[in-house]
Amino acid sequence: MDIIARIENDYTDSFGIPRQSGLCEAVLSRIVPEPGFSMREAFRGIEEYSHLWLIWGFSKNENAGWHPTVRPPRLGGNARVGVFATRSPFRPNGLGLSCVRLVEAAVDAPDGPYLIVAGADLMNGTPIYDIKPYLPYADAFPEARVNEALARNRLAVQFPGEAEALLPDEKRAVLTELLSLDPRPAYQDDPARIYGFRFGGFHIRFRVEDGILTVLEITEENNT
Computed over every residue of the chain, the mean pLDDT equals: 88
Instruction: Please state, in angstroms and rounded to a whole number, the distance separating the CA atoms of residues 114 and 98.
Output: 18
Burial class (CB in 10 A: 0-12, 13-18, 19+), 199: buried
pTM more than 0.85:
no
The residue ranges of every structural domain in the chain are 5-58+94-139, 152-223
Superfamily of domain 5-58+94-139: YaeB-like (2.40.30.70)
Residues in the chain: 224
Q: Which residue has the higher pLDDT, 130 or 161?
A: 130
Q: What is the pLDDT of residues 74-87, one digit of tens each?
A: 666 667 889 898 88
Flag the least confident range among 1-5, 42-46, 147-151, 210-214.
147-151
Identify the band that residue 224 occupies on the pLDDT scale cut at 50, 70 and 90.
very low
Q: Which residue has the higher pLDDT, 166 or 130?
A: 130
Give the pLDDT confidence score for residue 146 in this predicted structure.
Answer: 81
Number of other residues whose CB lies within 10 A of the CB of residue 187: 13
- For the cut 80, the answer to whether the pLDDT of residue 162 exceeds it is no
C-beta separation of 23 from 119 below 8 A: yes
- CA-derived radius of gyration, the chain: 19
Q: Which residue has the higher pLDDT, 197 or 79?
A: 197
Cite the beta strand spans of 9-145 per DSSP E.
28-33, 51-57, 69-70, 81-82, 95-106, 114-118, 127-133
> Which residues are CB-contacts of 90 (< 8 A; sequence separation ≥ 6)?
58, 61, 64, 65, 66, 67, 70, 83
Instruction: Please state, in angstroms and rounded to a whole number, the distance separating the CA atoms of residues 2 and 130.
Output: 9
Give the pLDDT confidence score for residue 144 in this predicted structure.
Answer: 87
Identify the band that residue 149 occupies on the pLDDT scale cut at 50, 70 and 90.
low
Nearest to 171, CA basis, from 127, 202, 192: 202
Identify the band that residue 150 occupies on the pLDDT scale cut at 50, 70 and 90.
low
Most confident of 6-10, 92-96, 184-188: 6-10
The residue-averaged pLDDT of 197-206 equals 89
Identify the band that residue 35 occupies on the pLDDT scale cut at 50, 70 and 90.
very high
Most confident of 31-45, 58-72, 183-197: 31-45
C-beta separation of 11 from 19 below 8 A: no
C-beta separation of 88 from 82 below 8 A: no
The residue-averaged pLDDT of 139-153 equals 78
Instruction: Please state, in angstroms and rounded to a whole number, the distance separating the CA atoms of residues 204 and 212.
Output: 16
**Diameter of the chain by CA atoms?**
54
Number of other residues whose CB lies within 10 A of the CB of residue 27: 23
First to last CA, the chain: 38
* CATH number for the domain formed by residue range(s) 152-223: 3.30.2310.20
Give the pLDDT confidence score for residue 79 in this predicted structure.
Answer: 76
